Amino acid sequence: MNFSIGLTGLRAAQRALELIGTNLANSTTEGYHRQQLKLAPLELGSANTRVSVGGVEIVGVQRSYNLLLEREHLRQQPIHGQLEQELSALTSIEAVLGKVEGNQIAQTLDDFFGALTQLTADPNSLAYAQSTVWTADSMTRELRSASEFLAQMKTQIRQHAEQIVGEINVRSENIAQLNYEIDLSMRRGNSANLLKDQRDQAIVEIAQMADIYISNVSGATSQTNVQAWGNPLVVGQQFMELEIGLTSSDLIGVGAKGLSYFDTTANGGEVGGLITLHNDIIPDLQNRLDTMAKELMLQINSHHAQGIGRAGSFTEMSGIAVDTSSTVGEWDWPTVTDGTLGIRLTDANGEASVHEINILHTDTLNMIIGKINAINGVGGVPANTIVASVANMALRIQMNNDYKVDFVPDYTTDATDPLVLAGTGGGVDAPTVGISGLFSADNQQYTFTITNPAAPADGEIGITDGLSIEVRNAAGEVIKTLNVGQGYAVGDQLEIENGMVLTFSTGVLNDGEVFHITGRNSSDSSGFLVAAGMNTFFTGTGATDIELREEFYEDPHLIATSVGPDGFDSFNIQRMAEIGQTSLANLGNTTIANYHYDWVSDIGQQAMVRDSRLKASDAVMQQLANQRDEVSGVDPNEEAAQMIIYERMFQSMSKFISVQDQALESLMQLL
């Protein structure tokens, strides 16, 4: 009798029960694949025949593993990981900056422009001026806070990326070690299924963090190689480490450790999501926030620089620190272009004169200082009246001889004395021309030509019949003909256009005489004043460092409410208040408030899009998980059924051996 048949059955049943126990114990273990015992009849035979009479043979232990399903599950991991990271960061940003209702920046913007509007009603009010200062201070604080928050987010993202890459390196080392142990186990004739499950799970975890490619996963070899973004992580039993690096352009990237090359466009996985956040999403938000802050500063500063407050013109002025070694056209922001700058000087008697200098983008600050100082001695300005210099890398203007300076866009003429025409005999009996009103159009020169029907007799203001003045605009078009002869009352105001008003005193005008008056809405067509920080309201280069100038905290009446020659109007503060309702080209032809609303809404939109995509990815992942469970998952009911089968098999084999033993014992007794 042969007990081997029964023993093979016992061994098979025992091994099957052990596997069932292992399956049940790992039914909730992540990455575990159900194991099945492969059995085959134990064949014994001669050279010519094969007869299955030898019992059962354990061929091996097989994992329930679907290669295509596992690869698709692995392919989905980087997509899911990137979406999770991006959504997490955007949700945090939205919680702090992306509230459409109750947004602090939006509120302070409304408060600031509201305070400017209040100040237009009473430019002399200290309370309204102080309110403007306080709301401007709150607004700049909120902008700086938002910019600082985004900068901190980038720092945290970089640190998080470094942490995750460290985890990738740990798992890469683990996979290489598992490759060694699996190879060794298989060489010894073992299945190494549990080790393979551990390796597969480590690969899945890396795939959640990185966009990977694996090879030799088909089972034809015991080794699995892993690459991430083209960098080999695991090659057989060797592994390489990755690292996060920061480029000179403030971009982070991932690359092989020690090679100093970093892929800043790496996509996929948690690391890819963090790189996208750091290099693209957050910089875009920062740039748009800076764009809004810069446009706000540019618009307010452009008006403020050319106005004056209740304190009037200045005896000294200082700008901001600039690069004195480069040309003004090379300054970072704002841009300085070729243009003109009108500098208005007012003497002790209140007589004002405008002196225009050319600004070239190729000028240095010292060259412009030379042009300003060249005003001394010209047009009746005493020597050493205006002294421009550099102090602490900033433009400084000091006035002497009881003169004051400002950049109010006043009217100018081509005459030596801007308010006196030539007249008979080179100025004898010439009338005085008064120019008033706030010019509201682009800067342009008007040509005035005298027509005297009584020529060659003198034309007398208010007396000579038909004495008139033809007015042409910069395009040469006749826009008006002014009657200054019979019927004109001396001193009556004559409206030209765009706010320009003329008055004439008694005097003589000659036929054919021509004079010019330049109306100015802006005294600086180059942008130099704002770039140099002369009489500006804000300082800074963007949301990161926008601030209200210190002097306004000490004296709110320094706010440049007026842009008129006499300094008593509120037109300048009105223009600044209107900026809040003006569509600006640099903001995509929308208002500052709407631009900020779009910026806030976009944060929520980006979060919503990623939330939707993540939910879709979750659904795909869940479907794949369900399919994997059908193939590889452990069903306790099914295992219990198998347990009963193998238990009965064990009992049957035990009975089989017992019967054989009894038969053998009976046979021995007969002998």
- Residue that terminates a domain, selected from 519, 549, 577: 519
Reported as a pLDDT band with limits 50, 70 and 90, residue 567 is: confident
Expressed as residue numbers, the domain containing 665 is 4-64+633-670
Distance (Å) of CA 447 to CA 54, 461, 476: 123, 19, 8
Residue with tokens 């064949």: 43
Instruction: Report yes or no on 460 lying in a domain.
Output: yes
| Token pair of 406 as six digits | 């400002």
- Percentage, residues of the chain above pLDDT 70: 95
Residue type, 171: R
The answer to whether 9 touches 28, Cβ cutoff 8 Å, is no
Distance CA 532, CA 317 (A): 11
| Pair 139, 114: CB distance under 8 Å | no
Q: What's the chain's average pLDDT?
A: 90
Q: What is the pTM of this model?
A: 0.85
Closest listed residue to residue 272, CA positions, set 164, 382, 389:
164
Separation between Cα atoms, residue 544 and residue 208, nearest integer Å = 35
**Across-strand partners of 312?**
309
Compute, in degrees rounded to 10, the torsion defined by CA atoms 275, 281, 282, 286: 140
Cα–Cα separations (whole angstroms), residue 46 to 43, 120, 231: 10, 114, 56
DSSP string, 527-552: -HHHHHTTT-SEESSSTTT-EE-THH
Q: Is residue 320 part of a domain?
A: no
Please report which confidence band the pLDDT of residue 549 belongs to, taking 50, 70 and 90 as the band edges.
very high
The number of residues in the chain equals: 671
Asked if 528 and 519 count as a contact pair (C-beta separation under 8 A), the reply is: no
Cβ-count burial of 484 within 10 angstroms (0-12 exposed, 13-18 middle, 19+ buried)?
A: buried
Tokens 């029964």, located at residue: 6
Q: Does residue 104 lie within any of the structural domains? A: no
Number of domains in the chain: 2
Question: CA 607, CA 597: separation in Å to the nearest integer?
Answer: 16
pLDDT at 2: 67
**Residue 41 parent element (H or E):** strand 35-41
State in Å, rounded, how far the first CA of the chain is from the last one: 15
Helix (DSSP H) and strand (DSSP E) numbers for the chain: 13, 26
Predicted pLDDT of residue 661: 80
Q: How confident is the model at residue 420 (pLDDT cuts 50, 70, 90)?
A: very low
Q: For 130-150, what is each residue's pLDDT tens digit?
A: 999 999 999 999 999 999 999
pLDDT greater than 50 at residue 63: yes
pLDDT of residue 415 exceeding 60, the answer is no
Give yes or no for a contact between 581 and 593, defined as CB atoms under 8 angstroms apart: no
Of 445, 574, 573, 432, nearest to 520 by C-alpha is 445
Tokens for 314, please give them. 């200045």
User: Would you call 307 exposed, middle or buried from its count of C-beta atoms within 10 A (0-12, 13-18, 19+)?
Assistant: buried
Residue 347: inside a domain = no
The per-residue pLDDT for 51 is 54
pLDDT at 84 over 70: yes
- For residue 417, name the pLDDT band (cuts at 50, 70, 90): very low
- The answer to whether residue 452 sits within a structural domain is yes
Half-sphere exposure of 79 (CA within 13 A, CB side): 15
Residue ending a domain, choose from 471, 498, 519:
519
| Spatial separation of the C-alpha atoms in residues 5 and 55, rounded to whole Å | 4
Mean pLDDT, to the nearest integer, of 401-418? 80
Q: Is residue 653 part of a domain?
A: yes
Amino acid 86: pLDDT: 95
Distance CA 404, CA 385 (A): 9
Q: Which two tokens stand for residue 592?
A: 């500052």
Q: Classify residue 134: in a domain, yes or no.
A: no
pLDDT tens, residue by residue, 352-391: 889 999 999 999 999 999 999 999 998 889 999 999 999 9
Within a domain: 479 = yes
> Average of pLDDT values for 451-478?
92
- CA neighbor of 653 nearest in space, from 1, 103, 90, 4: 4
